[in-house]
Amino acid sequence: MAVALIPVLDISYPNPAVAVPASYPYWQNAPRWDAYYAACQAKAGFPDALPPYLPGASFYQLATVTDRNLAKLTKDHTADLRAGTYAREEAVGFFGGYVLQLDGEAVFFPQCCGQLRDIGYWAQLAAGSAAPYEGHPAPTLRFTADTVRLDFTAGPRDEAFQPPPPRLSVEISRAALQLAVQQANRELDRFAQRLRALNEAEKLGVPALEQLLIWEDGRPA
């Protein structure tokens, strides 16, 4: 089984001048939601189109976010920090997370409040240790010596996973998941290089900008 973790950013810029689609859920009404997000992003001043990872969703792969769009997003995300409105300890990293793919099929998407720093969650699972998922809802975990099982069953009072996972549970080789974490970290390192270059080119003056936005200062420099 081929396991992959695809880093994505959650880029959502609601605008009161753009009507929110009345058609739910978004994955069954993708054209309306794609148009909504595109209109909001245009009004917010994103210079380039943002192709979504999943039609109708606000998830975008790191490599598809152009340098100009990344500059816009980063400036907005760090505006209050750079203005001194709040301290670095109060700042948060980029929202988003990781799409879990098994043999090319997406079986789990970042949930509400997910962040790029959640790579630590997947790394702990690969090491055979339960870890709190920063987003919600979270899958139930079960470990064996060589595998981890993720259960996406939602109880009658639980939040539902969005979009609904195609399988109620998946069992993954921890060795394969470790390789997926390593590959995701390589992509994060490339993204970190872009952020370092942006920080210098735009003279943002945020020390270790990439450490803050990707790992929320949880990874040593």
Q: How many CB atoms lie within 10 A of CB 127?
A: 13
Whether 118 has a pLDDT exceeding 60, the answer reads yes
Name the pTM for this structure.
0.96
Fill in the amino acid letter for 48.
D
- To the nearest 10°, report the CA torsion of 209, 210, 211, 213: 90
Cross-strand partners of 79: none
Cβ(62)–Cβ(35) under 8 Å? no
Whether 205 has a pLDDT exceeding 70, the answer reads yes
**Residue 122: closest CA among 165, 182, 193:** 182
* Domain definitions of the chain by residue range: 3-215
CB-count burial class (<10 Å; 0-12, 13-18, 19+) for 128: middle
Extended beta strands in 77-124, E state: 96-102, 105-108
Q: How confident is the model at residue 158 (pLDDT cuts 50, 70, 90)?
A: confident
Q: How confident is the model at residue 156 (pLDDT cuts 50, 70, 90)?
A: confident
Q: How many CB atoms lie within 10 A of CB 26?
A: 20
Q: How confident is the model at residue 211 (pLDDT cuts 50, 70, 90)?
A: very high
pLDDT tens for each residue of 68-107: 999 999 999 999 999 999 999 999 999 999 999 999 999 9
The span from the CA of 214 to the CA of 115, in Å, is 8
Cβ(64)–Cβ(50) under 8 Å? yes
CA 90 to chain centre: 20
**Residue 158: closest CA among 101, 111, 97:** 111
Whether 220 has a pLDDT exceeding 80, the answer reads no
Fill in the amino acid letter for 184.
A
- Structure token pair of residue 160: 């539902």
Per DSSP, the three-state class of 125 is: helix
**Residue 109: closest CA among 62, 162, 50, 61:** 162
The span from the CA of 213 to the CA of 93, in Å, is 4
Instruction: Specify whether the backbone of 175 is left (phi greater than 0), alpha (psi in -120 to 50) or beta.
Output: alpha
